[in-house]
Amino acid sequence: MLSAAENLTLHAVTTLLGDALQNTMNGAEAMVRSLEAHGVRHIFGLCGDTTLPFYDAMHNLDHDITHVLTRDERSATYMADAYSRVTGRVGVCEGPSGGGATYILPGLIEANESSYAVLAITTDISVGSYGKYPLTEVDQEALMRPLTKFNTVIKRADHIPRMVRQAFRAMTTGRSGSAHLGLPYDIQYDAVPSDDIWGDAKHHTYPAYRAAPEPGVVDAAVEAILTAKSPLIVCGGGVVIAGAMDELERFASRLDLAVATSISGKGSLADTHPLSLGVVGSNGGTDETWEMMEEADLVIFMGCRAGSTTTSRWEAPKPGQRIVHFDCDPMTIGANYPTEVGVVADLKLALKGVNDYLDAREGDVPAFGGSVKVADIKERKFTKFQSLAQSDAELIIPEQIIETLNRHLPDDAVVVSDPGTSCPYYNAYSQQKRPGRQYITNRAHGALGYSLSAALGAWYGRPESKVVALMGDGSFAFACGELETVVRSNAPVTYIVFSNSAFGWIKASQYADCEKRYYNVDFNRTNQAAVAEAFGLKSWRVEKVEDMDKVMAEALAYDGPTLIDVICQPLEEAAAPVRRWMG
């Protein structure tokens, strides 16, 4: 029998242990709570053996995070990527060890190179089994290192909260990008102090902790621009990521400056804005839009890396054309062109500084006549487009699909395109009426199969908007299993498949570059509408242009997932707006 003193001691010990248990959680629970502390609302992912504790924590805890079960880890990352693009929040995906970790790679590198904040959590084998040749062992840290802005495999459970905080800091500050956290199986069961679970609300969205330009540099940039005779703004994705569209519109309108974009920069101005020249370069640029790129005596790159596509493999600007460059990433300044003035800053703050300087500057400022030049170029470009869209071609041609889509799209629609057949046409001829991220395509690395999955992520991020995904039939086959996820989510996404029974971009390149020597680019025609119908989508197969209008209207209005399989002209026979094919 215990004495009174011994009973008191035992009670104290029991109380302390109880308090300690109440103030701890296991590693899997700490991961869920850490994500919750950073404002995460959706996770896209696929289950596996090493994920069991994490899924159990998601099941047992009371939280507001929606987990979307996908059919492929690539799809999970693409969904997180598009979700991030339309929300300005970190997109989160997860997958298991081994094959899950390797499958999640394509979306991570796309997000990182496109400057979107995506976090991949890959559960891993137990730390205690490292080096013992367990099933699914792979060095995840080495695997992810070249693809991400931040990357670590967490070795101790009590490090989970701080590593999540570090990942969110990295993803949302400076040039945004992707991050990877490896979460070994055994540490998911180890204790983590509850009082270390917190997150900085600034990192719920991005850009976080915006950096202003250094003193005097904005003034120098403006003065350089004002000395030009025919300047041109070329916007990349950085303008939309920074949410600087209003500041850009005010600056451009004040000086009557034409605004061209890269593919990723679409949305910097509305397509229909009188100063919006459209996409320039080798994918979606046309001879008409290229005129202003060649004629400009000063090019203002705005959140644009001046890479191979926008400059048509650095065909322009040419030596002698002056460069002013605004970007949040100092590595882009002077990377490809001698730069007269470089402004390293968040674009929203930099453009505010530009407008403030012009407000305070004494004396008149020039009007560069951009609206007149843009109107002339657009009139010539769209005259050609309409003549094709209204032609009596034997097969439906891509221009007819885009023209029909333009007429039926709601003003707030989000369009997602794979990088193949549909991409140059929508880049060149879309008529979206609002600025902002209403168009998504994976142009950094251009993996096929992106848009089918990404469209679902875009819908989860912006469910009030109509989401339309464009792709070729080659891309459709990469990811059509994910249609089950779309149906399970009851997402009213409309898919439009440009069916030409070939990997059209490569076949058109063989036509242009290899003197029509076609090799291993054709495949059997598949009835994509029938495939989609089997998954539960309402579907149509369209072979005549006179049916396009009615089907498009029905598909976009339907309250559920839909697919239109359009039998269309082969890309090698088309007048695609791709500069190297148009010469």
pLDDT tops 50 at residue 567: yes
Task: Please return the burial class of 197, using the count of CB atoms within 10 Å of its CB with bins 0-12, 13-18 and 19+.
Answer: buried
Question: What pLDDT, on the 0 to 100 scale, is given for residue 579?
Answer: 82
Q: Which domains are assigned to the chain? A: 23-204 (3.40.50.970), 217-372 (3.40.50.1220), 390-582 (3.40.50.970)
- Residue with more model confidence, 38 or 131: 38
Question: What pLDDT, on the 0 to 100 scale, is given for residue 504?
Answer: 87
In sequence order, what DSSP letters do the residues of 190-225 get, joined into one string? SEEEGGG----GGGGBSS-SPPPPPTTHHHHHHHHH
How many angstroms separate the CA atoms of 343 and 360, rounded? 19
Report pLDDT digits (tens) over 237-255: 999 999 999 999 999 999 9
Q: Phi, psi (5° rounding) for residue 545?
A: -65, -30
**Mean pLDDT, the chain, whole residue set:** 94
Tell me the mean pLDDT in the region 291-307. 97
Q: Residue 556: CA atoms inside 13 Å, Cβ hemisphere, count? A: 23
pLDDT tops 90 at residue 6: no
How many angstroms separate the CA atoms of 161 and 196, rounded? 6
Query: Which among 73, 71, 142, 80 has a CA at the least distance from the CA of 117?
Result: 80
Residue type for position 442: N
- Extended beta strands in 252-339, E state: 259-261, 276-279, 298-302, 322-327
Question: What pLDDT, on the 0 to 100 scale, is given for residue 583?
Answer: 56
Report pLDDT digits (tens) over 425-481: 999 999 999 999 999 999 888 899 999 999 999 999 999 999 999 999 999 999 999
Token pair 């570090």 in the structure block, residue: 166
Mean pLDDT is lowest, of 74-83, 97-106, 569-578, for 569-578
How far is C-alpha 4 from the chain's CA centre? 68
Q: Phi, psi (5° rounding) for residue 454?
A: -60, -35
Question: What pLDDT, on the 0 to 100 scale, is given for residue 508?
Answer: 87
Question: What pLDDT, on the 0 to 100 scale, is given for residue 3?
Answer: 56
Tell me the mean pLDDT in the region 182-205. 97
H or E stretch including 557?
Answer: helix 548-557
What are residue 326's DSSP bridge partners?
Answer: 302, 343
Token pair 């012009």 in the structure block, residue: 358
Question: What pLDDT, on the 0 to 100 scale, is given for residue 410?
Answer: 97
Question: What pLDDT, on the 0 to 100 scale, is given for residue 580?
Answer: 78
